Structure formats: C-alpha cells, structure tokens
C-alpha cells in the first residue's frame, strides 16, 4: 500500500487521490490490527465515495488559502460531510448488521 501512495505522488496524482490512498491505508491498518478483521462491505462501499465527495468539496470550498484557514476548514468539512451523506443516501448504501 505504501508503494502505491509513492507511485501516485510520482505520477502526479492529485492531492485528493493521494489523501484517499492514505485514508485507505489507515482504515485497512486500523481494521486489521484493532478490529481483528477486514472492513465490512458497508465501510468498503462508503470509502469508494470519498474521492467523489472530495472532488465536489474542493470545487465548492476552493483551494486551501494562505490566510483564514480556520473558516475555510469549517466550510470544507461541512460541505464534505454533507456530500458524503448525500452520496450514501443516493447510492442506497445500507449498513448490514
């Protein structure tokens, strides 16, 4: 997985794509070490939505500014979480119990 992140950076992947690779690594590591098993189908499906939500959020909130980063971060998080929620509902991903 670390090799894939390095290759993404080397071939000029966007920051969002690199972030998704890192998040996937963290999720995989957390679940395999702490939870004792792989991610659930719900978690896997939801993680596939991250690049779409990130691209949408970057378009709405814009690039990270040099000043007033806190205001930008609040807006970015609000838009991102709303978009993830919208995508989950739109794709009808249901958590299986």
pTM, full prediction: 0.59
Q: Which residue in the block uniquely carries the two structure tokens 């966007």?
A: 14
Q: Which of 97, 88, 82, 84 is nearest to 23 (CA)?
A: 84
Compute the distance between CA of residue 8 and CA of residue 87 in angstroms, rounded to an integer.
25
Contact 21, 8 (CB under 8 A): yes
Rg (alpha carbons) of the chain, rounded to whole number = 15
pLDDT tens digits, the chain, 97 residues: what are they? 445 555 555 466 666 666 666 666 666 655 555 655 788 888 889 999 999 999 999 999 998 888 888 999 999 999 999 999 999 998 888 765 4
């Amino acid at each position: 997985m670390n090799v894939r992140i390095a290759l993404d950076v080397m071939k000029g992947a966007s920051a969002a794509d690199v972030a998704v690779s890192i998040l996937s690594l963290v999720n995989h590591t957390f679940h395999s070490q702490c939870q004792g098993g792989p991610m659930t189908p719900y978690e896997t499906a939801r993680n596939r939505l991250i690049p779409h939500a990130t691209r949408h959020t970057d378009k709405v909130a814009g690039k990270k500014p040099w000043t007033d980063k806190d205001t930008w971060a609040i807006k970015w998080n609000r838009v991102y979480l709303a978009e993830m929620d919208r995508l989950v509902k739109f794709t009808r991903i249901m958590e299986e119990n």
